[in-house]
Structure 1
Amino acid sequence: MFAYQVFTSITAIAFFLFVFFLIRRDSILMGAAFRWLVLAIAILVLGIFPQLADIAAQWVGIAYSPILPVILACLLLMLKALLADIERAKTQVKLDRIAQKIAIVEMELEQIRNKQD
């Protein structure tokens, strides 16, 4: 095994253990944790068998195989940003609806107080 394979393997295992530690402490949600664990396993596999990146790059038609993980990482980051925006939009809609419901309840409470006076 080459030095970079050992380094990548150790890094992937450390990352995997860190994600596992975060799961045990309930610091991240299970859906996100699953994605991170899959990413750690992918890093480990590509670190141990870098030839897989060469084969995949050749299959896709990329001449410079080390750029394939960079492209995939960029795509995953864009997907993560898109999912975060979707989640933020859903949260904002829920927050707006809660604010509207509170305003209606406050208005009804004020009307009840006015009737009692």
Structure 2
Amino acid sequence: MEIYQYFTAVSATVFFAFVIVLIRRDSILMGAAFRWLILALAILSLGIYPKLADVIAHWFGIAYSPILPVILACLILMLKALIADIERAKTQVKLDRIAQKLAAVEMDLKQMKNKK
């Protein structure tokens, strides 16, 4: 094994272990934990077997195989940004509904006080 293979293997193993620790401590939400676990497994696979990127790149017709992880990273980051926007939109809708319900309850409370 070349020195870079040791470095990538150790880095990928540390990242994988870190994700596992975060999942065990419930520091990551369950929906995101699955995505991070899949990503950690992919990084671990490419870190231990860097020639795997050459094989996969050849399957997709990519001549310069080191660009494959870069392309995948860009796609994953775009997907992560999209998922974050969807979750933020859902949270905003829930917050708006809670604010509307609170305003309705406050209005009902004022009406009850005025009747007395």
Could you list the structure 1 runs, at least 4 aligned residues long, displaced by more than 6 angstroms after superposition: none
Alignment-mate amino acid for residue 79 of structure 1:
L
SS at match of 1:62: coil
Where does residue 110 of structure 1 map in the other structure? 110
1:32-81 per-residue CA deviation (whole Å, 9 max, x = no partner) reads 12222221221121122222211211111111111011001000000000
8 Å CA contact retained: 2:11, 2:47: no
Where does residue 9 of structure 1 map in the other structure? 9
TM-score after normalising by structure 2? 0.93
State how far apart, in whole Å, the 1-side matches of 2:50 and 2:87 are.
Answer: 35
Where does residue 18 of structure 2 map in the other structure? 18
1:87 maps onto 2:94 in alignment: no
Where does residue 46 of structure 1 map in the other structure? 46
Identity of aligned residues (%): 75
State how far apart, in whole Å, the 1-side matches of 2:109 and 2:61 are.
Answer: 67
Identify which range, 65-74 or 16-25, moves more after superposition. 16-25
Superposition RMSD in Å: 1.1
SS at match of 2:44: helix
Give ranges in structure 2 of 5+ residues lacking alignment: none
- Aligned pair count reads 116
Where does residue 33 of structure 2 map in the other structure? 33
